[in-house]
């Protein structure tokens, strides 16, 4: 960046240095107290010294609202960017990112996050702690699963996951009550559904815990070690309405197909307490049974009216 930039343009609000071959941004950037939009796409940023030191302490850390660093060479999200607490839009698409740092949760004002076109393999649960996030773009990566915590993104309107390695979606995705657009094309779940999933026998502790919960055996904190009381509090109810059982660590992972918009059937992940609960309840093993069809219709009636666009192809 040219020296004296802050002296020439002390009230500068928007700076676009995209496509200039820039390899680093100097300290002049720190002296722009009014800058709210910085566009530096398609450059050579990403090496040591690409961003000026002291960025998180500069006035810019409070004023910047939009930052676009797409098309550069970052192999990780620079820690300094996670201190820009006023950011509403962050774009790091087309870089060399292999992951998303858990500290992404520090960007509490973020509304738009674009991380498409990288090498990301997993989504940290901490991403779900962004209360204002409305648009999340994770397309063209290597993501294999979606953490169920993502259902906590209650403000989310658009979720782009196309061209990844997804074979199923977590059932909790139905809780994204404001979601209007879900893009899934180019994932294995669109052309190949998971049917055979393994089940590990429950431990003796699990069996004992299930008995205590299902038979309502009374106990008090004074009766059991603190670790067992905590363990018993983590019981999950089997979603099969005909079962009434519970599970802790050992469960059956099953796929159930749910209709969206009355047209597409998406595989959602279920966790059941035993293999006996998987048939005929789950459509992974008997996708044409009347039971599974009625289940799909029930859930579709909840989701279809709010899901405006599901992109599968």
Beta carbons of 60 and 35 less than 8 angstroms apart: yes
Task: Judge whether 191 lies within some domain.
Answer: yes
Where residue 38 falls among pLDDT bands split at 50, 70, 90? Answer: very high
pLDDT of 211 = 92
Q: Domain total for the chain?
A: 1
Task: Judge whether 120 lies within some domain.
Answer: yes
Instruction: Render the burial of 85-107: b for 16+ CB within 10 Å, e for the rest.
Output: eebbbbbbbbbebeebbeebbbb
Task: Judge whether 229 lies within some domain.
Answer: no
Task: Judge whether 53 lies within some domain.
Answer: yes
Strand partners, 170: 269
pLDDT of 306 = 47
pLDDT of 292 = 35
CATH number at residue 144: 3.80.10.10
H-type alpha helices, the chain: 5-8, 60-63, 188-191, 204-214, 226-232, 290-303
Judged by average pLDDT, the poorest of 15-29, 54-68, 108-122, 258-272 is: 258-272
Distance CA 265, CA 175 (A): 17
Interacting residues of 78 by C-beta distance below 8 A, sequence separation 6+? 50, 51
Where residue 267 falls among pLDDT bands split at 50, 70, 90? Answer: confident
Beta carbons of 85 and 109 less than 8 angstroms apart: yes
Region 296-307 average pLDDT? 43
Quote the domain boundaries for residue 120: 5-195
Distance CA 66, CA 160 (A): 20
Answer whether the bond into residue 280 is a cis peptide, omega within 30°. yes
Task: Judge whether 264 lies within some domain.
Answer: no
Q: Going by DSSP bridges, is the β-strand pair 252-260/264-272 parallel, antiparallel, or unpaired? A: antiparallel
Distance CA 298, CA 285 (A): 19
CA-based torsion, 120, 45, 39, 127: positive or negative? positive
pLDDT of 178 = 86
Task: Judge whether 76 lies within some domain.
Answer: yes
pLDDT of 59 = 82
Task: Judge whether 300 lies within some domain.
Answer: no
pLDDT of residue 291 exceeding 90, the answer is no
């Amino acid at each position: 960046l040219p020296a004296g930039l802050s002296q020439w343009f002390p009230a500068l609000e928007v700076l676009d240095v995209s496509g200039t071959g820039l390899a680093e941004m100097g300290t002049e950037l720190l002296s722009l107290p009014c800058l709210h939009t910085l566009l530096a796409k398609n450059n050579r940023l990403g090496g040591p010294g690409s961003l000026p030191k002291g960025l998180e302490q500069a006035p810019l850390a409070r004023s910047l609202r939009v930052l676009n660093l797409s098309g550069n060479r970052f192999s990780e999200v620079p820690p300094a960017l996670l201190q820009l607490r006023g950011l509403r839009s962050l774009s790091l698409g087309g870089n060399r990112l292999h992951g998303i740092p858990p500290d992404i949760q520090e960007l509490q004002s973020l509304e738009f996050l674009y991380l498409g076109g990288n090498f990301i393999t997993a989504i940290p649960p901490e991403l779900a702690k962004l209360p204002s996030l409305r648009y999340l773009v994770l397309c063209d990566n290597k993501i294999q699963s979606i953490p169920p915590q993502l259902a906590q993104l209650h403000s989310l309107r658009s979720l782009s996951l196309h061209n990844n390695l997804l074979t199923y979606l977590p059932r909790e995705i139905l809780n994204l009550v404001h979601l209007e657009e879900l893009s899934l094309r180019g994932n294995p779940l669109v052309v190949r559904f998971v049917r055979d999933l393994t089940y590990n026998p429950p431990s003796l502790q699990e069996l004992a815990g299930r008995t205590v919960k299902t038979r309502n055996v009374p106990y008090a904190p004074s009766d059991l070690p603190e670790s067992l009381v905590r363990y018993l509090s983590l019981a999950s109810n089997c979603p099969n309405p005909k079962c009434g059982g519970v599970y802790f660590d050992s469960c059956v992972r099953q796929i159930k197909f749910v209709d969206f918009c009355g047209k597409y059937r998406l595989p959602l992940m279920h966790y059941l307490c035993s293999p006996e609960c998987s048939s005929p309840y789950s459509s992974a093993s008997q996708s044409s049974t009347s039971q599974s069809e009625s289940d799909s219709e029930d859930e579709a009636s909840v989701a279809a009216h709010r899901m405006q666009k599901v992109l599968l192809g």
